[in-house]
Amino acid sequence: MAETAKELSLRLRDPEGKHKCDIVIALTHARYVTFPHDIALAKAIGALSPTGQTDSPGWHMTHGVDLILGGHDHLYYVSHGVTSWEGYDTTHPVLGAEADRGDVLVIKSGTDFRDLSEFALELVDAPPGGVRRKAIAAIRGKRHSTQPGSKKNAHIAKILESVLSSVSDALKAPVCKTAVELDLRSELIRTQETASANWFADVLRHCYDDAPTMGSGSNGVFICAGTLRGDSTYGPGNITLGDIMEILPFEDPIVALEIDGASLWDAFEQSLSTWPAQEGRFPVISGFRVSWDSRRAPGQRVLGVWLVQEPASATNTSASPTPLSSATASKTSLQSTQSTNSGASTPVILVDGESVPRSREGRKYRIITREYMAQGHDGFLALKDQKYLVDDESGQMMSQIVRKYLLGVRSSFIL
């Protein structure tokens, strides 16, 4: 980002060029730990406060930007280097912004139109002999926040009413028809394997196969039962868009990780550690078979993990297998069904592929999961800090993936 900013500065400030800019303001949307990133970026490209300019002689001799308007973080933040800011305490410490010594100019205006930043820049001529023509001598601003009692704008209220009405109609639209009942009651999906939960995992299995980072596609899917809400049964009959949104309300994207066998085992242990409590950690998987013993102590319950071979004859399948065994004995083959073009169901024999060794060396596995889990939340520490193949910037929400899957099938049936 720093090099890009400097290259753009060279073009934008060129006195013989097309733009001849006096100052350059950067709009950023940093991917990782944003506060340190934006603050470090500001230092690297000379987005300095008046104090920072004084403490850094020669800052005007290098290309860069003069002010950063940052994104990604869903909170309001103004760096200590501003002159004054109405409605925000710039002296209040903010976790992650410890590197802000009052020497940079970074403004973040929250999210979802809850806040608006209004500011004025006082510009003076930059010291002679440099590449920057103007310097920010002062920056004064004000935070505008939307309050519950804020006066409504009649024109906007009318538009909103129309939009919400169309949304309500859209939520009632059917997206598929199921011949069987989808049972998503929490007492079941949070304690045992269910066909309904398996189906949702199967839909995710190939969602990023076209991503250049995914090679030949994912090896499997690993989400948790808490991902699936609704706590109800759906069908038989039409399933509406509203039903899908009720079942999949979360907005964190589906991501892809590269993970070693030991970390995958650890993640399954963490997923099964709280059973039989209905905490939502219970695994929902596709492409793997896990054998575990609920009688053993937490952390020692997983007996084996296998990849499941793709059925050679599986064409137009409505449900790929995702066996999860809670017994101590291992089965080497399991049976599911495959939907034919005529709608009839024929058995599909599922066979264990290679076993996944509990080792940090050797083969790495490509898994589909939630960003929430990849960040280590809900006890999934084994998934934290793994290599992203598809990150949260490129990933899609699960509800979006499922809707695309259903709308992309000419005759959408769940059998």
pLDDT given at position 298: 95
What is the per-residue pLDDT across 240-297, written as a single tens digit (0 to 9) for each? 999 999 999 999 999 999 999 999 999 999 999 999 888 899 999 999 999 999 999 9
pLDDT given at position 321: 35
Summary mean pLDDT of the chain:
87
Query: Mind listing the domains of the chain with CATH numbers?
Result: 2-145 (no CATH), 170-414 (3.90.780.10)
Residue 167 CB neighbour total at 10 angstroms: 11
Look at residue 232 and tell me whether its pLDDT is greater than 80. yes
User: 273-285: buried (b, 16+ CB within 10 Å) or exposed (e) per residue?
Assistant: bbbeebebbbbbb
- What does DSSP say about strands 174-178 and 333-339: parallel, antiparallel, or unpaired? unpaired
Query: Of 121, 132, 73, 77, nearest to 100 (Cα)?
Result: 77
Look at residue 331 and tell me whether its pLDDT is greater than 60. no
pLDDT given at position 48: 97
Statement: the pTM of the whole predicted model exceeds 0.85: no
pLDDT given at position 281: 94
C-alpha 273/C-alpha 86 separation (Å) is 49
Question: Which runs of consecutive H residues, i.e. helices, occur in 214-352?
Answer: 241-247, 261-272
Listed in sequence order, the residues at least 6 apart from 17 whose beta carbon sits closer than 8 Å to its beta carbon are 11
Region of residue 112 (left: phi > 0; alpha: psi -120 to 50; beta: else)? left
Query: Of 54, 53, 66, 63, nearest to 106 (Cα)?
Result: 66
pLDDT given at position 410: 38
Look at residue 327 and tell me whether its pLDDT is greater than 50. no
DSSP lists the bridge partners of residue 260 as: 364
What is the per-residue pLDDT across 55-101, written as a single tens digit (0 to 9) for each? 999 999 999 999 999 987 778 999 999 999 999 999 988 877 889 99
What is the per-residue pLDDT across 93-137, written as a single tens digit (0 to 9) for each? 887 788 999 999 999 998 778 899 999 999 999 999 999 999 999
C-alpha 368/C-alpha 200 separation (Å) is 12
